[in-house]
Structure 1
Amino acid sequence: MHHKLEVEDGTYGLLKGPNISKVRLGNHEMGTWYGTAVYFARDHKTLGFKYLNGEKQSRSKSLVNQEETWLEKLYVCDWCFKYTDVEDEFLGHHARCSHRARQPGQIRYLAADVTIRRVRGSRHKLFTQNLCLFTKMFLDNKSMFFAVDYFDFYVVYDNLTNKPMGFFSKELLSTDRNNLACILVFPPYQRRHLGTLLIAFSYELSKAERLISGPEKPLSPFGLMGYLKYWSSTVARELLYGRSCAEDEITLNALSRITGIRIDDITLTLKYMEIVKVENNKLHVDRGCLKNWARKNKLSKAPLLQKECLLVE
């Protein structure tokens, strides 16, 4: 199983198409979405850590062009994200992985069904590097995978199995004061609103620092849709049920302060919702249209994130 990766160049391992046919994450097997060279040595046939250990034999096909498969199946531990191309190696490690009984990081959100842990890249370097490598197979705009010291990772765990289901990373010294750099819910756990939960949690971190913040730009098309869902629900919930519910007019600045969402993100969201007019920095709210929007989009009165479950410093 993997212990160290050598960075070869500045291309971040990006390829035109998937080069690993399938990946097995624990008991889940899935196809990959994007190609990545960072798992491999310079020969494009051997996994990087095996090459460093002097092993140059591989079960993967040699590279002919960037559209060919380099490896039929990659095995990844769903506790710690260490990897191999040999099933017996994977099964032996998986049975005794130290993260089965002890998850890395500190608890920052504890609900009945899920837990969010803060995992420092500087303290848990191997775990976070392997997490980033896995992520590159499912995010086309994921570039950072080695310099994890400068990031915190907030990982969401299933309380029943204690297995990680997704995460977001946050740069420690962001010049733009971004509250999120990269986010991914792993394919087996998608459509469970975990992305929305992680986004909401990232804003709670900003509020604890008294910051109006948001994600690193530009967002991928998939990421933008996830944020528009969160932003529109947050804005609608505030205008219908929050401290602004009795106001016929509210300024963009006031709404930004209350929600913690940047003004330009609120403006984009209002255009997306197509129900609230903005003139001279003021929102003119038609309650009837807003209620119809809430009904059509099945807006719940209570947000997904439970603030009483927060353990934020």
Structure 2
Amino acid sequence: MSVWYASPYPPDFTCLPKIFLCQFCLKYFKSSATLHRHAGLCMWRHPPGREIYRSGKTSVFEVDGEKHKVYCQSLCLMAKLFLENKTLYFAVEPFLFYVMTEYDSRGCHMVGYFSKVSDLHREKHSAQNYNLSCILVLPQHMRKGYGKMLIEFSYLLTRREEKVGSPERPLSDLGLISYRSYWREVILTHMLKLSPSPSSSSSSSSSRSSCSEFSVKELSQESGIKCDDLVSTMQYYGLLKYWKGKHIVLRRKEVLDEHAKKLESRKGSPATLDPSCLQWTPKTYPMYT
């Protein structure tokens, strides 16, 4: 793969035109011959840690940075090759890494991952209840829906924890686009579930009607998305209007019809998350005073 940015590999690696990585354990080598010898000995066929999700050929492994420090450091060094603002490389102990893979006869091949601060370290590292710190989809797997799937998976864990969450700020330009797209989809999907209001919120367009049943707080609790993120997304896409002293959610028929068609065409896609396949229970830690 052609990389986009420099990464702080050891000095004797950064001067090389190419480095070679084992796709399973992520160890790095100076030559293809060394990698070939390693591949004959490497017993890994999937990321370390616990497999917490499997649906079809897609799996997600939860990797603890404290228990699998070398693997997580190698993962962060590789991620820096494609993420301009990534600063975490070696202090991986406070983080959990959720590595998504595709399975074939040779093993589980990584397509991307996201990380977040573990509950054990959250009070020290984040008071904002961030549910995602860093996210990456490898270039050869981009534009296949895996970025949205990783974001959705982070909120699936948040809902299982019975919390609401938000990604760590600041978001990159690409990250903001991806999140706004996901938040918009959640909002429109929720609108499709609601019966349309019989009266128009403004008589200027018959394709716009007030979604009087819409509650941002209820959607936040249902989706795990913070209210602030939902409101800012509706404002950005023109789905929220201040009219006669009230904030009104606009139900745009043409937008909802287009979204319904998109959902229908996506059925059966391999990049579709099945919440019933998650085998994960939030860890609880003792409270000390």
Q: How does 1:41-80 map to 2 (within 5 A)?
A: 41=11, 46-47=12-13, 70-80=15-25
> Which stretch of structure 1 is more off in the superposition, 262-271 or 202-211?
262-271
8 Å Cα contact 2:55-2:277 kept in structure 1: yes
2:108 to 148, 162, 165: 162
**What is the aligned partner in structure 2 of residue 85 from structure 1?**
30
CA–CA separation in structure 1 for the residues paired with 2:181 and 2:246: 23
Q: CA deviation at 1:278?
A: 5.4
**What is the aligned partner in structure 2 of residue 40 from structure 1?**
10
* AA partner of residue 286 (structure 1): R
Q: TM-score, normalised by structure 1?
A: 0.75
**What is the aligned partner in structure 2 of residue 196 from structure 1?**
148
* AA partner of residue 238 (structure 2): E
CA–CA separation in structure 1 for the residues paired with 2:219 and 2:163: 14
**Compared with structure 1, are the counterparts of its residues 170 and 224 closer, same or farther at alpha carbon in structure 2 (3 Å cutoff)?**
same
State the Cα deviation string for residues 179-216 of structure 1 (Å, max 9, x = none).
10000011122222111111111001111111110110
8 Å Cα contact 1:78-1:164 kept in structure 2: yes
1:135 to 73, 79, 82: 79
Q: How does 1:161-180 map to 2 (within 5 A)?
A: 161-172=107-118, 173=122, 174-180=126-132
CA–CA separation in structure 1 for the residues paired with 2:277 and 2:195: 25
1:253 aligns with 2:217: yes
2:160 to 196, 202, 208: 208
1:294 aligns with 2:255: no
* AA partner of residue 167 (structure 1): Y
Q: CA deviation at 1:245?
A: 4.4
2:169 to 205, 209, 217: 217
**What is the aligned partner in structure 1 of residue 237 from structure 2?**
273
SS of 1:270's equivalent? helix
**What is the aligned partner in structure 1 of residue 207 from structure 2?**
none
Q: CA deviation at 1:217?
A: 0.6
2:2 to 28, 31, 42: 31
Q: Sequence identity, in percent?
A: 33
SS of 2:166's equivalent? coil
**Compared with structure 1, are the counterparts of its residues 142 and 83 closer, same or farther at alpha carbon in structure 2 (3 Å cutoff)?**
same
Number of matched pairs:
254
For structure 1, list consecutive stretches of 5 or more residues without a partner in the other structure: 1-29, 48-59, 61-69
**Compared with structure 1, are the counterparts of its residues 130 and 278 closer, same or farther at alpha carbon in structure 2 (3 Å cutoff)?**
farther
Q: CA deviation at 1:295?
A: 5.3
Q: CA deviation at 1:287?
A: 4.9
**What is the aligned partner in structure 2 of residue 117 from structure 1?**
61
CA–CA separation in structure 1 for the residues paired with 2:246 and 2:134: 31
> Which stretch of structure 1 is more off in the superposition, 154-163 or 279-288?
279-288
**What is the aligned partner in structure 2 of residue 312 from structure 1?**
280
8 Å Cα contact 1:168-1:184 kept in structure 2: yes
**What is the aligned partner in structure 1 of residue 51 from structure 2?**
107
For structure 2, list consecutive stretches of 5 or more residues without a partner in the other structure: 198-210, 282-289
Identify which of structures 1 and 2 has the higher relative contact order when contacts are C-alpha pairs closer than 8 Å and 6+ apart.
Answer: 2
* AA partner of residue 152 (structure 2): A
> Which stretch of structure 1 is more off in the superposition, 256-265 or 280-289?
280-289
